[in-house]
Homo-oligomer: A and B are copies of this chain.
Amino acid sequence: MAELFDEINPPPRLMMGPGPINADPRVLRAMSAQLLGQFDPAFTGYMNETMALYRQVFQTDNRWTFLIDGTARAGIEAVMVSLIEPGDTVLVPIFGRFGHLKAEIAGRCGAKVETVEAEWGTVFTPDRIEDAVKRVRPRIVALCQGDTSTTMAQPLAEIGAICRRYDALLYVDATASIVGMDLPVDAWGIDACTAGLQKCLGGPSGIAPITVNARVERAVLRRKHTERGIRPAGDVPGEGPRIASNYFDLAMLMDYWSDKRLNHHTEATTMLYGARECARIVLKEGLPAVVARHALASAALVAGLQAMGLRPFGDLAHKMPNVTGIHIPAEVDGEAIRTDMLNDYGIEIGTSFGPLAGRIWRIGTMGYNCRKQNVLITLNALEATLRAHGATVTCGEGVDAALAVYRTAEPAPARAAAE
């Protein structure tokens, strides 16, 4: 007898962890639309519009700005496996778990992997990265903009120029930071950049926006080996080694996303609808406004936590605006607090990985959830839960401090209208 279980009916949650977060309802509505055939002109039109929208999100003119059908990690692997030829030297500056991930993927691609590590909770100075580039002379430098595991954000404005100076390609993983921070891909000389929907873009995990420039295009096309059975007459294989993955082969994906529409996978229609809507929502608000909204929530949250008597983690000058680490007070069990927050308030906050597991909580203020009410609700719930567990916290001062930050930032007329 078939066991069918009940229909999908998730308990209401306020997801204030390091992502995923609650999807913007407009994204879910867009995703409820009926499907289209992958070569239907209406659908290829949506594909082209999605490319145009993400060019604006990435602040780039790159022709090759499209989606990888998988989670953010799929976008990372697509760029790395298409770019890295076995034996290439790849430099990975590591300042958290997602640096290790890129070193790991580079290793699986057959790279000679070189790493430099910053203590968790800190980032690199441009000089330290330049020294490493000068020393190991990598073909590719791969790093995160923001590594949620430590909540740190690496300043990138100077890294592109350093890489050009030593003729290295720069790949930036912006999964956790995209639209939560400024990231002008072209202005900063970033050659390849990948993202995900489930953080500040306010959508579900499952499709990865990427952009690559002409330097990457050249490197990839020399490895192009179109699969037999769909190879057009006159398609000459590249002289470079075949890319080890078919699914993540950017050369073939370019033919799928161009007017050639050479069949590859079947585009994930519903996820594309979602990705397109995420970008529309962000661009409608305006990139600078979205970035400012995240910065303001960060300031308010940090002020609130400090006023409550808690200690934020790491170098606050380089904290990601959309996620904040907090030292777990010694007198409480961090996991018990997280469980009570979820069960009593429906609020999810995160823990961390590796050396920080059980040592810090992580509170996200991202995308659709990055709003005053959620900062205040979360501070109140955390304070009450800590008190219930016997921790020493101030009473009410957390929300007051957070609210004060918001009041300062709000234009007086808007405040008057709202009151």
Interface residues of A (CB under 8 A from B): 2-5, 7-13, 15, 17, 19-23, 28-38, 40, 42-43, 46, 49, 52-53, 56, 69-74, 77, 81, 97, 100-101, 103-105, 107-109, 149, 196, 198, 204-207, 227-230, 242-248, 263-271, 273-274, 276-277, 280, 283-284, 286, 342, 348, 353-354
Contact = CB atoms under 8 A, between A and B. Distances in A.
Nearest to A103: B228
A237 B2 CA distance: 38
Contact of A348 (B40, B52, B264): B40
Given A28-B31, A31-B31, A103-B228, 7 more contacts: A9-B33, A10-B36, A73-B264, A97-B230, A205-B265, A206-B270, A229-B354
B229 A270 contact: no
Given A28-B32, A71-B69, A353 B10 contact: no
A31 B245 contact: no
A71 B2 CA distance: 26
A90 to B, nearest CB: 14
A345 B159 CA distance: 55
Contacts of A81: 245
Given A2-B56, A15-B35, A244 B206 contact: no
A292 B23 CA distance: 39
16 contacts: A2-B286, A4-B280, A8-B30, A13-B36, A17-B37, A28-B33, A69-B206, A71-B267, A73-B264, A100-B227, A104-B246, A109-B244, A149-B229, A198-B266, A204-B270, A270-B274
Nearest to A349: B37
Contacts of A273: 8
A73 B354 CA distance: 33
A277 B34 contact: no
Nearest to A357: B230
B70 A247 contact: yes
A327 to B, nearest CB: 21
Contacts of A263: 353
Contact of A74 (B35, B103, B265): B265
B37 A348 contact: yes
B12 A34 contact: yes
A100 B229 contact: yes
B23 A34 contact: yes
Contact of A268 (B206, B242, B264, B266): B206
Contact of A270 (B17, B108, B270, B353): B270
Contacts of A271: 204, 206, 268, 270-271
A287 to B, nearest CB: 8
Nearest to A270: B204
Instruction: In the A-B complex, list the 4 residue pairs whose CB atoms are closest, starting with the nearest.
Output: A206-B268, A100-B229, A204-B270, A71-B265
A245 B246 contact: no
A100 B246 CA distance: 12
A2 B46 CA distance: 16
B353 A77 contact: no
Contact of A11 (B42, B74, B244, B277): B42
A333 to B, nearest CB: 17
Contacts of A149: 229
A32 B35 contact: no
A137 B26 CA distance: 55
A230 to B, nearest CB: 6
Contact of A32 (B13, B29, B69): B29
Contact of A38 (B20, B31, B35, B37): B20
